[in-house]
């Protein structure tokens, strides 16, 4: 832990959690988006090394070679417009240059799921390839009856982060309700000035009328009809990850702009827009903060609650902060402000027993 660990140990004294370690992560010039997400785990240094980001010092020089960077990003943009271009060194390097903390979080969770699924399938294949004598005695293995689909593999990543949404569409002619379920690992919420997470969640689940060119094709009416659509949380996850959409594309400007809006996120959150009878209660334990006035530059830091103490992680620097400091990252009440440190990704943990698998 070095000097950082020594300062924290002195500050906490006897309250320093036994067996706990708080590590800072070195920033190699453009890897703060990785650090801010990985620092949510005390074992993040190991993950960081495994992913290989510790060996990307050379990319920093390339990133600050502006002509190279611009042409690389142009190449990447053109490749994406053509379609699903084959992944190569150029696209991977462009991914590193354009990555933000939210995209990296999604990449990380999906990669972990892929690894765990491959390992599970490999174990299952090994178990099924039993000895010839065992196959004869047990008889041939048959597939599932009536062509039933196999249940999807549920990993510990799913058990922690995955929730279930239901998209309900009601035909305004015949009143038939069509429901479609979909899983999620995080919720991306539109934000407004001087709002709160609660109001953003209500807007997320608000009813939308489909009419004119957006009419819904009703299977019962066999035609396009006006309809009402809404999204609800059918099954809340154990760990609720909320992504605030702070980067918005402005048509008039022809580019993305960062929304500095003040969005209050409580330490304790109640989810009331679910399909369950009782509200789901959550406690905030981490925040990824974007520092900067625009989407194409800036810095990422993170706040983490560990053993009832709030810690501030800024790359390799770690310090203890008071809980009241968290509210300084809500955002700016005015459009133009010198405060550019804003909560970007919020991590809530269920404090009830109903959501645990």
Task: Please give the positions annotated as active site.
Answer: 32, 299
Query: Which H or E run includes 270?
Result: strand 268-271
Report how far residue 66's alpha carbon sits from residue 17's, in angstroms, rounded to the nearest whole number: 46
User: Do 295 and 256 touch, CB atoms closer than 8 A?
Assistant: yes
Q: Residue 242 pairs with which residues in a beta bridge? A: 187, 346
Sign of CA dihedral 85, 86, 88, 93: positive
User: Do 43 and 22 touch, CB atoms closer than 8 A?
Assistant: no
- Separation in Å, CA 311 to CA 42, 102, 115, 215: 12, 20, 31, 50
DSSP string, 298-327: -EEEEEEEETTEEEEEETTEEEEE-GGGGG
How many degrees, rounded to 5, is the angle at CA 87 between CA 81 and CA 88? Answer: 115
User: Do 285 and 305 touch, CB atoms closer than 8 A?
Assistant: yes
Angle, to 10 degrees, between the axis of helix 66-82 and the axis of helix 89-98?
A: 110
């Amino acid at each position: 832990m070095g000097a950082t660990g020594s300062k924290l140990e002195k500050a906490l004294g006897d309250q320093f959690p036994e067996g706990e370690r708080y590590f800072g992560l070195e920033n190699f010039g453009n890897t703060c988006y990785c650090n801010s997400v990985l620092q949510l785990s005390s074992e993040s240094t190991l993950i960081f090394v495994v992913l290989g980001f510790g060996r990307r010092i050379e990319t920093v020089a390339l990133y600050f070679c502006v002509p190279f960077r611009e042409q690389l990003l142009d190449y990447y943009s053109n490749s994406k417009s053509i379609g699903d271009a084959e992944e190569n060194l150029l696209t991977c390097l462009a991914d590193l240059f354009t990555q933000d903390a939210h995209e990296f979080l999604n990449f990380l969770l999906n990669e972990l799921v892929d690894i765990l699924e491959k390992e599970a399938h490999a174990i299952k294949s090994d178990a099924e390839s039993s000895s010839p004598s065992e196959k004869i005695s047990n008889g041939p293995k048959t597939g599932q009856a009536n062509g039933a689909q196999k249940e999807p593999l549920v990993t510990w990543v799913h058990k922690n982060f995955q929730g279930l949404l239901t998209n309900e569409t009601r035909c305004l002619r015949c009143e038939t309700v069509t429901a479609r379920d979909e899983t999620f690992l995080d919720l991306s919420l539109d934000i407004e000035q001087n709002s709160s997470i609660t109001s953003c969640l209500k807007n997320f689940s608000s009813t939308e009328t489909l009419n004119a060119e957006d009419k819904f094709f009703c299977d019962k009416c066999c035609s396009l009809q006006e309809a009402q659509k809404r999204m609800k949380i059918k099954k809340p996850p154990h760990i609720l990850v909320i992504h605030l959409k702070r980067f918005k594309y402005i048509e008039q400007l022809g580019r993305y702009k960062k929304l500095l809006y003040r969005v209050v996120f409580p330490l304790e959150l109640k989810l009331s827009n679910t399909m369950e009878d009782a509200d789901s209660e959550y406690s905030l334990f981490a925040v990824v903060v974007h520092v900067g006035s625009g989407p194409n530059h800036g810095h990422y830091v993170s706040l983490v609650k560990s053993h009832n103490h709030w810690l501030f992680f800024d790359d390799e620097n770690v310090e203890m902060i008071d809980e009241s400091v968290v509210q300084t990252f809500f955002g700016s009440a005015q459009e133009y402000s010198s405060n550019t440190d804003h909560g970007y990704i919020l991590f809530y943990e269920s404090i009830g027993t109903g959501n645990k698998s």
